[in-house]
Amino acid sequence: MTEPLVLGIETSCDETGVGIVRGTTLLADAVASSVDSHARYGGVVPEIASRAHLESMIPTIERACATAGVRLEDVDALAVTAGPGLAGALLVGVASAKALALGLGKPIYGVNHLAAHVCVDQLEHGLLEQPSIALLVSGGHSSLLLVPDVTEDVVQLGQTMDDAAGEAFDKVARVLGLPFPGGPYVDAAAQLGDPTAIDFPRGLMTAKDLEKHRFDVSFSGLKTAVARWVERETKAGNAVMVNDVAASFQEAVVDVLLRKAIDACLSQGVGTLVIGGGVAANSRLRAVATQRCAEHDITLRIPSPKLCTDNGAMVAALGSELVRRGRETSQLDFGTDSSMNISKVVVR
């Protein structure tokens, strides 16, 4: 028997993503991003994102089908991000997916975006070990998860107390005069800088903090420290060493994220760490994770950068895993949930 063909739709933020998978084989990953329309505002504008999803939805579905060489009628099941994310943006994806499900007479899963970020790794590295620890770092979330079963049992160990990791990258980029979204620019600048040039603070790492917030992270103190540093240098008439600031800031973020993630693996007795979300595209995070996981005998799984940022393939990957495990589908009247908790993988 051939494996099921699953189409996934993602619209939680500014990417309209439509992915098609057969089992764990990726057939198409079509993405239309509205990121350029938000650049001049320095952040994603929800209403602009929703309108862009509306305009891009049908062409992106068509592009995905053409790339995969399949017809919509061939699809066995649909999956769509039901949350968390921007309310209006989520609605466009969910309404589109429901229309397809109804028109084609196929089952549908309304799924959790965070679980999809974890599950996408199956498209490149095979089935996830159970349990795994997942570190999700993007513009909207920073979470450390214990994942016994990505289709129905995901436990949050920690999260950010303030900014998400990607948000911190974007804000620091702005302070340094780099374009939006700042992560890739900070990454590039950091490659030319000295990560030990400035000793920026590591949030929630003191013994006292660890008692209460062992697996939580915080980036607002770091972000403020960078802004103060730049301000002081500018006032003193010194040229701001953008590359050194970027490298030192990035080092602080990467150090804290990985110390917490590895502590989670060791303390929970879990031998696999999966990293996902847009910040998982960061070159320094990937390099330090490789080194530290090897030191602690932890298997590291990171999808290729294109699958780390928001896309439809990740939603299709989770849909496919739900089908493979025979999990119950969603009712056609399920709603979106902009603050959907990770303890819920599928809305029913």
Interface positions with ligand KG4 (CB under 6 A) = 13, 138-140, 166, 169-170, 181-184, 187, 277-279, 281-282, 309-310
Closest separation between CB of residue 40 and ligand KG4, Å? 16
Tokens of 289: 């994770």
Check residue 348 and report its DSSP letter.
-
x-or-dash pattern for Zn ion, window 199-238, by CB under 5 A?
Answer: ----------------------------------------
CB of 185 to ligand KG4, least distance (A): 8
d(Cα 132, Cα 277) in Å, to the nearest integer? 16
Among 121, 167, 244, 310, binds Zn ion (CB under 5 A): 310
Q: Which is nearer to ligand KG4, 79 or 323 (CB)?
A: 79
Report the phi/psi class of residue 85: left, alpha or beta, with left for phi > 0 and alpha for psi in -120 to 50: left
Q: Is 11 in the site for Zn ion (CB under 5 A)?
A: no
Select from 145, 100, 99 the least CA-distant residue to 119. 145
Task: Name the binder of 8 from Zn ion, ligand KG4, none, CB < 5-8 A by kind.
Answer: none
The interface partner of residue 319, options being ligand KG4, Zn ion, none and the CB cut-off 5 to 8 Å by kind, is none
Name the binder of 309 from Zn ion, ligand KG4, none, CB < 5-8 A by kind.
ligand KG4
Q: Enter the DSSP assignment of 312.
A: H
- Find all residues with CB under 8 Å of 88, minimum gap 6, and list them: 46, 47, 49, 50
Contacts of 25 (CB under 8 A, 6+ apart): 3, 123
Spatial distance between the Cα atoms of 223 and 245, rounded to a whole number of angstroms: 11
Residue nearer to Zn ion on the CB measure, 175 or 316: 316
Q: How big is the site for Zn ion, counted in residues (CB under 5 A)?
A: 2
Q: Which of 114, 139, 159, 84 is nearest to 274 (CA)?
A: 114
Distance CA 169, CA 51 (A): 26
Shortest reach from residue 11's CB to ligand KG4, in Å = 11
| Contact between 196 and 248 (Cβ < 8 Å) | yes
CB atoms within 10 A of CB 158: 20
Residue 134 CB neighbour total at 10 angstroms: 31
Of 107 and 337, the one with the shorter C-beta distance to ligand KG4 is 337
Contacting Zn ion (CB under 5 A), which of 11, 24, 81, 138?
Answer: 138
CB of 323 to ligand KG4, least distance (A): 24
Please say which residue, 35 or 210, places its beta carbon nearer to ligand KG4.
35
Q: Return the number of the residue (33 or 96) whose C-beta is nearest ligand KG4.
A: 33
The smaller minimum CB distance to Zn ion, of residues 160 and 248, is found at 160
Amino acid identity of 265?
Answer: C
Token duo for residue 233: 């240098």
Extract the tokens encoding 295: 């030191």
Which partner from the list ligand KG4, Zn ion, none does 193 bind, CB cut-off 5 to 8 Å by kind? none
Q: Which does 170 bind (CB under 5 to 8 A by kind): ligand KG4, Zn ion, none?
A: ligand KG4
Residue 169 interacts with which of Zn ion, ligand KG4, none, CB < 5 to 8 Å by class = ligand KG4
Inter-residue contact 315 to 60 (CB < 8 Å): no
Residue 29 binds what, of ligand KG4, Zn ion, none (CB under 5 to 8 Å, by partner type)? none
Q: Which is nearer to Zn ion, 142 or 248 (CB)?
A: 142
Give per-residue burial for 334-346: e unless 16+ CB within 10 Å, then b: bebbbebebebbb
User: Measured from the CB atom, is 267 or 304 closer to ligand KG4?
Assistant: 304
281 interface partner picked from Zn ion, ligand KG4, none, CB below 5 to 8 A per type: ligand KG4
Which of 9, 87, 100 shows the shortest CA–CA distance to 50? 87
Q: What is the contact surface with Zn ion in residues (CB under 5 A)?
A: 138, 310
